[in-house]
Structure 1
């Protein structure tokens, strides 16, 4: 994929809009994807750089019970909303940040098949996201750019930087190997890479809060500068046997860490470009796929069209204060809760959520000036369409959760002719659209979610309905931001489900326009970009589990 953006913003926006329409699933046909899959020839799930020095990171299992870091990670999950004196940045705290967010959480096996689970979820468990750390002024570490290897929980020194002095500095740069998703999902893969970027940013934000640190996107640093900083524009160091698109990485997002507990100081593109230009580079990237069977040029086109440019630091989004939790809510220790997150494969179709659980979970989905919502720079754009199957005290049917007054004002006139929009006493902002017979609701939910049982057996399913046209008015790069917000909501749903003894799972396969037609929405003012389900998971006893890191 070229690192060049399209010179004409109008042309770039047209590419983005055309891509979105072309990659919609429809009842008549799914988006273009591979006709067959050879699971024995799946792209490599892990990347490393041959010739780069490795630094092993301390693992959480080895933390001394009396240490400050151990104590911080055993606090209640609810304590993430409370100020914590920031922990010092060193190998142990960096290791904790990465293991809690991007590290392995278990190995699973079934017969001859074996696969890893990670703290950050991913579409199809394919994990396109690669992480690079920009480190400076940290004892025991050369100033430079480091690649994270989750399979061994280690850093690789990808580039050495000149020492600039000053206090410790830490930033995380995320890239995506889009071929990992394209191998299975074809043209729709770009969407999933953006959702996974949102999931990973959310996972990093929760992990940073566990250490008393803040984390914030740096949108003023454009895609070209990020590619240069990550070294992914050094194509000779990403050799391909057949096609370059299988090996290259796409620059996604730069997240600065506030190590003092205050918001991080914004990073300047010019300074980062100077670091990259004078860097001493190390290593050659390992291969992702030597024998690809398909070619999806549309992915490279939308990636180029949606890249961001260097610019000024934008004003921060204005968010409400964090909402207090109910007494006793989320009392579980945060480390096991975060590392115990799993994606449900099946749900108990008879289990009913309590109304208190449902109300508490919805309250945590409203944007607030705290974890995890303060990680993204863009204004929140997603309202939530809920298919409520089994929640005590609620009639099965369709519900709407606007996440701002502006969203409610924009949606109300479009929905009022078809739905009654009744408020639900005791559940702030939730509106009932329509009551449905349970069997009818199950058929609708299952049909709209590519005929998947998960949507009908879950306690509820969620569609993330985004202000599409209004967001894209700011430029084509907003297409990525919309998906990342949806992924961030998904990450919050995953962990909040765990708080209540439930499980969630993301659903990237749904019939786009039929969802809009269900609500009577025409045009592209509102588009559903991601769906999610929550319920009580049923585990498959045939699948064996082994530790993530055999210490």
Structure 2
């Protein structure tokens, strides 16, 4: 068994000394993987793109069943997904499950530039590397065998992995499990990759929420320890991953239609009859990053109720009226991460305010988030009509404005923004042309200064992680979920966004006056008018589905 395998298999301890040790490891990992102006976090010295790991996991020997391509038949419009005109709950059956997967984890298109060809997917990913794997757990779903199935996005197919225990008389259940293949990110990003895997889990959860909404469904996280998730998905089966890259259990989400499901995870059959062996993604890895396995083990959820003591935010006031948007399915599949932004384009103020209102933790897109909001945007505004360029803050929970005032620079103004809707706590901290600073802080990337605005998401980090190291993952999930909301809201408003995982952590903190690690920047995001590259060709994701 490798070091990584042992770390995944070892159950964390709840003893106070072990808890403190795990928290220290998680915080040490975070400090160790910071980028700085003088040095980046440890990563590969060279990349051979011709030897990139296989982007698609399959289980050789598992029975695969192709799913129908039906997302293009869904008529719900994006602006109606969570309002009075939302679609009624669709039945659980093979076609609706196919639509859910197509719109959350399926391919959106193939791209081609010269001899190079690559896929883009409905769920965004750091560097388009896609470490997140999706599993469907189905019971009583018409047209699907009761059991655990792995989704292969390349083929839009389900691989049958295991059987569930029968539960006569119970309502149909549909759940989705997520795991991470950390090597997919580590191959390019080295030690910082564990962060990106967690951000991508949040992106994937957000993608699932919006895809479910097109079918009238809701999404709710199921409290479960990492060991239980691994056992249900078969990730703890050493022989099935012999010689292949392991998958780290992340979460299981319940899809809720008409009936309320029973609590907890479904049970595997007494003889689950697991089938298939994981394919090898990279036969000749050039580097090893053992600190990733250490961070994974330190932050694994150990109990059945990691959400104890938390509570969802109260419902928010509806955001400003959306424009007449495209069909939700077309918008979701048309979403792209911007590669370049127009440095002259202005963003209308109503569009800016709508995107910020969509980040309210009580907004419908956060229906799956049964946690107190712990991520708070600091905005570097460059070109928003009617708004002075400068630095702004958007505290996302009651009382947080005072906490941020005490933690950030004492010379910040904290002036409420005139014209902001009631209930949107947007504050101007300082007027300034921050384009050059924002570009520098985001690893010298022009996209951070060329957009209309760039966000740095500040997390309430050290106290939460000290109390439960699993919160290190969960904070990144929240950041990724916020990113997915911004991605789709930007797309609906005719602009485009992109996540920025590369930034100089402590330089951001010094600029804002942050001392210590109670608050830390976890994720950056920028929005603006995209500039297309005419050299890149777009091809259909699947034969039979139009562009």
The TM-score, its normalising length taken from structure 2, stands at 0.94
Conserved in 1, the CA contact under 8 Å of 2:218 and 2:256? yes
Q: Among residues 317, 323, 346, which one is paired with 2:311 in the alignment?
A: 317
SS of the residue corresponding to residue 193 of structure 2 reads helix
Q: Among residues 53, 57, 66, which one is paired with 2:63 in the alignment?
A: 53
Is 1:358 aligned to 2:349, yes or no? no
Conserved in 2, the CA contact under 8 Å of 1:32 and 1:187? yes
CA distance in 2, matches of 1:59, 1:316: 38
Could you say which residue in structure 1 is the equivalent of 2:253? Answer: 255
| Correspondence list, 1:23-38, <5 A | 23-38=33-48
Conserved in 2, the CA contact under 8 Å of 1:228 and 1:276? no
Could you say which residue in structure 2 is the equivalent of 1:18? Answer: 28
Conserved in 2, the CA contact under 8 Å of 1:78 and 1:329? no
Structure 1 moving runs of 4+ over 6 Å? none
Q: How far did residue 303 of structure 1 move?
A: 0.1
CA distance in 2, matches of 1:81, 1:484: 25
Q: How far did residue 366 of structure 1 move?
A: 1.0
Q: How far did residue 328 of structure 1 move?
A: 4.6
CA distance in 2, matches of 1:286, 1:344: 32
Could you say which residue in structure 1 is the equivalent of 2:172? Answer: 168
Conserved in 2, the CA contact under 8 Å of 1:161 and 1:280? no
Superimposed CA distance per residue, residues 92-120 of structure 1 (whole angstroms, 9 cap, x where no aligned partner): 10001001111000000001100000000
Q: How far did residue 276 of structure 1 move?
A: 6.2
| Correspondence list, 1:123-138, <5 A | 123-138=126-141
Could you say which residue in structure 1 is the equivalent of 2:264? Answer: 267
Q: Cα gap change, 1:473/1:426 in structure 2, threshold over 3 Å: closer, same or farther? A: farther
CA distance in 2, matches of 1:416, 1:297: 37
Could you say which residue in structure 1 is the equivalent of 2:327? Answer: 333
Conserved in 2, the CA contact under 8 Å of 1:352 and 1:392? yes
Conserved in 2, the CA contact under 8 Å of 1:223 and 1:308? yes
Conserved in 2, the CA contact under 8 Å of 1:319 and 1:367? yes
Could you say which residue in structure 2 is the equivalent of 1:299? Answer: 292
Conserved in 2, the CA contact under 8 Å of 1:239 and 1:287? no
Is 1:433 aligned to 2:433, yes or no? no
Q: How far did residue 164 of structure 1 move?
A: 2.0
Where in structure 2 are there 5+ consecutive unaligned residues?
none
| Correspondence list, 1:140-159, <5 A | 140-159=143-162
Conserved in 2, the CA contact under 8 Å of 1:81 and 1:322? no
Conserved in 2, the CA contact under 8 Å of 1:78 and 1:330? no
Which is worse superposed, 77-86 or 224-233? 77-86
Superimposed CA distance per residue, residues 58-80 of structure 1 (whole angstroms, 9 cap, x where no aligned partner): 102674xxxxxx3xx33343333
Could you say which residue in structure 2 is the equivalent of 1:235? Answer: 238
Is 1:39 aligned to 2:49, yes or no? yes
CA distance in 1, matches of 2:386, 2:246: 51
Q: How far did residue 237 of structure 1 move?
A: 1.1
Q: How far did residue 277 of structure 1 move?
A: 5.6
Which is worse superposed, 514-523 or 158-167? 158-167
Could you say which residue in structure 2 is the equivalent of 1:546? Answer: 539
Q: Cα gap change, 1:61/1:380 in structure 2, threshold over 3 Å: closer, same or farther? A: closer
Which is worse superposed, 536-545 or 424-433? 424-433
Q: How far did residue 133 of structure 1 move?
A: 0.8
Superimposed CA distance per residue, residues 344-384 of structure 1 (whole angstroms, 9 cap, x where no aligned partner): 000000000011111111111111152x2121233210110
Could you say which residue in structure 1 is the equivalent of 2:82? Answer: 80
CA distance in 1, matches of 2:270, 2:375: 39
Is 1:445 aligned to 2:448, yes or no? no
SS of the residue corresponding to residue 211 of structure 1 reads coil
CA distance in 2, matches of 1:226, 1:508: 27
Conserved in 2, the CA contact under 8 Å of 1:383 and 1:402? yes
Conserved in 2, the CA contact under 8 Å of 1:400 and 1:432? yes
Q: Among residues 481, 503, 507, which one is paired with 1:510 in the alignment?
A: 503
Where in structure 1 are there 5+ consecutive unaligned residues?
64-69
Is 1:207 aligned to 2:232, yes or no? no
SS of the residue corresponding to residue 251 of structure 2 reads strand
CA distance in 2, matches of 1:122, 1:473: 28
SS of the residue corresponding to residue 82 of structure 2 reads helix
Q: Cα gap change, 1:521/1:276 in structure 2, threshold over 3 Å: closer, same or farther? A: farther
Q: Among residues 187, 203, 209, which one is paired with 1:183 in the alignment?
A: 187
Q: Cα gap change, 1:318/1:131 in structure 2, threshold over 3 Å: closer, same or farther? A: closer
Superimposed CA distance per residue, residues 271-297 of structure 1 (whole angstroms, 9 cap, x where no aligned partner): 53xx16631111111111110000000
Q: Cα gap change, 1:257/1:79 in structure 2, threshold over 3 Å: closer, same or farther? A: closer
SS of the residue corresponding to residue 134 of structure 2 reads strand
CA distance in 2, matches of 1:277, 1:526: 47
Conserved in 1, the CA contact under 8 Å of 2:380 and 2:453? yes
CA distance in 2, matches of 1:483, 1:139: 35
Which is worse superposed, 407-416 or 310-319? 310-319
Q: How far did residue 33 of structure 1 move?
A: 0.2
Superimposed CA distance per residue, residues 305-363 of structure 1 (whole angstroms, 9 cap, x where no aligned partner): 00011234736623122432434535322111111100000000000001111111111
CA distance in 1, matches of 2:509, 2:304: 35
Q: How far did residue 233 of structure 1 move?
A: 1.0
Conserved in 1, the CA contact under 8 Å of 2:342 and 2:531? yes
Is 1:457 aligned to 2:450, yes or no? yes
Q: Cα gap change, 1:528/1:109 in structure 2, threshold over 3 Å: closer, same or farther? A: same
SS of the residue corresponding to residue 280 of structure 1 reads coil
Q: How far did residue 423 of structure 1 move?
A: 0.8
Aligned residues: 528
Q: CA RMSD in A?
A: 1.6
Superimposed CA distance per residue, residues 442-462 of structure 1 (whole angstroms, 9 cap, x where no aligned partner): 110111000000011000000
CA distance in 2, matches of 1:291, 1:407: 48
Q: Among residues 343, 347, 366, which one is paired with 1:349 in the alignment?
A: 343
